[in-house]
Chain A
């Protein structure tokens, strides 16, 4: 049967059952930082004699333009969303690889700034169970936390740290 005529058959396996598909929407850290920044800004402006209207105007402008105070709120929101999807993507790749008989995986670093935790694992080979025990990429174990962009790839396909577009 030609490939074009095959039906997309989906084979559900045990690995998939244990996988998670979750998007986390979390902005708590950023909210706390924003609140502190606000207190500092308001305190400074108040000391210098600014009126309520002037303070309100500065805050509104910062909010509209994604400035120093409210800009971080947006950045943090995006980071946590991407993180959860990234983690999901990693599990999916591993599941697909293990179905094809891959037993060992190598740590592939990625990103423009690689944290010491991930750097120490770059190029290291281990089985999925071993990686799961010590922490898989993007699981939050490393100091880079939600910013981790590393992944596990098939042995022999590892490259120099992948640079991400700025």
Chain B
């Protein structure tokens, strides 16, 4: 019988959400799209040439190089990671970028006065990720209501 409010512990869903966001960021970079789902500013020919010379994979793709920053294409670099896991007592999941290994991630994220490098917002929560997260949380709540 439904008598009281639901006991809602969404720690698992929050951690799942964090993984959705991380995956979405990596997919975005792999597809050369920013967190607003717009195409990245293309690289200049000289940059592509330089990246090719240094043997970087996919030299034509912006933000894909050593893989330390974004960790795309199953490369050795981790890219964004789950810094803090949500628990029952602390319903907070934190995602961070590898700021020690790839501090330049910040330069790509934010506009610089000189305009170089061009802003490519790769870190954040896209609407696609948000929709997926809300869908997952709704599914969990639906299961909780059904179980009553």
Contacts and interface: CB of A to CB of B under 8 A. Distances in A.
Contact of B130 (A38, A42, A55, A81): A81
A93 B109 CA distance: 10
Contacts, number: 154
A46 interface: yes
A92 to B, nearest CB: 3
Interface in A29-70: 31, 34-39, 42, 46, 52, 55-56, 59-60, 63-64, 70
Interface string A65-92: 0000010011001100110010011001
A10 B21 CA distance: 26
A37 B108 CA distance: 43
Contact of A42 (B2, B83, B96, B106): B2
A33 B71 CA distance: 38
A56 B99 contact: no
Contacts of A64: 138
Nearest to A8: B117
B5 A17 contact: no
User: Which bucket holds chain A's interface residue count?
Assistant: 35 or more
Given A42-B4, A55-B2, A73-B137, A24 B107 contact: no
Instruction: Report which residue of A25, A26, A42, A82 has the largest number of chain B beta carbons within 10 angstroms of its beta carbon.
Output: A25
A8 B97 contact: no
Given A17-B103, A60-B145, A77 B133 contact: yes
A46 B2 CA distance: 9
Given A16-B106, A60-B145, 9 more contacts: A7-B44, A12-B104, A17-B99, A19-B99, A21-B123, A25-B17, A63-B138, A70-B138, A88-B109
The 8 lowest CB-CB distance pairs between A and B, nearest first, are: A92-B110, A39-B5, A38-B5, A21-B97, A8-B117, A28-B91, A35-B5, A10-B104
11 contacts: A6-B44, A7-B50, A8-B43, A8-B47, A22-B94, A22-B95, A25-B14, A27-B137, A60-B145, A82-B125, A96-B111
